Each structure stands twice: as structure tokens, then as C-alpha cells.
Amino acid sequence: MRVEKLSDIKKELRLLNTEVLTEICLRLAKYKKDNKELLSYLLYDADNPLNYAEEVKSTLLLNFKNLNKSAYTSTKELRKIIRLLTKHTKYTGSKEVEIEFLLWFCTNFLQYADTRSSHKPLQAILNRQLEKIKRILPKLHEDLQYDYSATFTNLIEEANNKLRYFNKDDFKIENL
């Protein structure tokens, strides 16, 4: 079976009437849960992505509160939370929402995860998320950069105080 290019699909969709497009969308929504979630976001939440981000965060906060004490299991649970946050970030397509999610994740990591653990994968999770934040910050609008860089700096200081393996010099922001 040959899959058509996205540009060809776009041209074909423009030729279809509203009723047929509705049928196609409903059929896609029935096919996969992710499609249904994306369609739901686009129809009901796309006008306010930050409000949507708050809803997602409140839903996932329970996962943080129920983190297992075992380093191995908590690492798996944290990866699941990251996967869900990444999925919802893709729905919004917004760098601002992505930064919100990453800062929220790192804050909750420091609050709920076992910060005394020497489990390397658990340590690497926080470092990877902080690297993502550092990489995304320069891509934001100047006002947002200023706001989020202050939050990021506070987060780095908190991590430096709580984690003995953490080196805050690895996450310095240059000229924002």
C-alpha cells in the first residue's frame, strides 16, 4: 500500500464538502485514542492553550504524588509523565506551553522524587529536562524569556541545594 504525501492529502481534503470532512474526522477519532484527544483539543481547548496546560498539570499531579519510593519504579513512572507531557505539548504546538510543562515537571521532580538516590537514570531525567528548557528559552519572545529565565534560575538554585550530584554551572543561561 502506498501512502500519499501530505501535500496531496491537503489538496484532496480541500475538494471535499463539509459532510464528508466530518465523516473523515469522526472516523479518525474512532480509530485511535490520540486522534480523538487531538481533535478534542482542537475543537474545545485550542483557543486557550495555557488553560489546557493547567488542566493537564492538575491531572498529572496525582502521578507525582503517588511516585514509588523505589528508584527503578519511580524512574519508569517519571518517564511516563514525560511521555504524556510531550504528547500534550505536541497537541498545542506552543513553545510557551512546552516551557510551562518542563518547569512544572522539574519543580515537582524536586518536590516528590527521591532526590537522595544515586540511581543514574533517575538523575539523568532531571538533567535532560533542564537541558530542554535551556535549549527552548532563547526561542521564546523576549518578555517570556525574562519571566521564564527567572523561574529557571530559581529552579537551578533549588536543584543545587537539594541534589548533591547536581552542578548548576552546567545550566547557566548566556545573554538572555
Can you give the pLDDT at residue 176? 57
Q: What's the CA gap between 109 and 159, in Å, rounded?
A: 10
Long-range Cβ contact pairs of 166-169 (< 8 A, separation 24 or more): 166/126
Instruction: Flag whether 10 is in a domain.
Output: no
Domain assignment present for 24: no
Domain tally, the chain: 1
Residue 126 belongs to some domain of the structure = yes
Closest CA to 163 of 116, 108, 103: 116
**Is 31 inside any structural domain?**
no
- Say if residues 25 and 35 touch (Cβ distance below 8 Å): no
pLDDT grade for 170, boundaries at 50, 70 and 90: confident
Q: Has residue 73 been placed in a domain? A: yes
Does some domain include residue 26? Answer: no
State the average pLDDT for the chain. 91
Q: Model-level pTM?
A: 0.89
Query: Does residue 34 fall inside a structural domain?
Result: no
For 70-99, write each residue's pLDDT tens digit: 889 999 999 999 999 999 999 999 999 999
pLDDT tens for 20-67 read 999 998 998 898 999 999 999 999 999 999 999 999 999 999 999 999
User: Domain residues for 81?
Assistant: 48-171
In a domain, 81, yes or no: yes
Residues of the chain above pLDDT 90, percent: 69
Report CA dihedral (43, 100, 64, 150) to the nearest 10 degrees. -170
Phi, psi of 48 (to 5 degrees): -140, 80
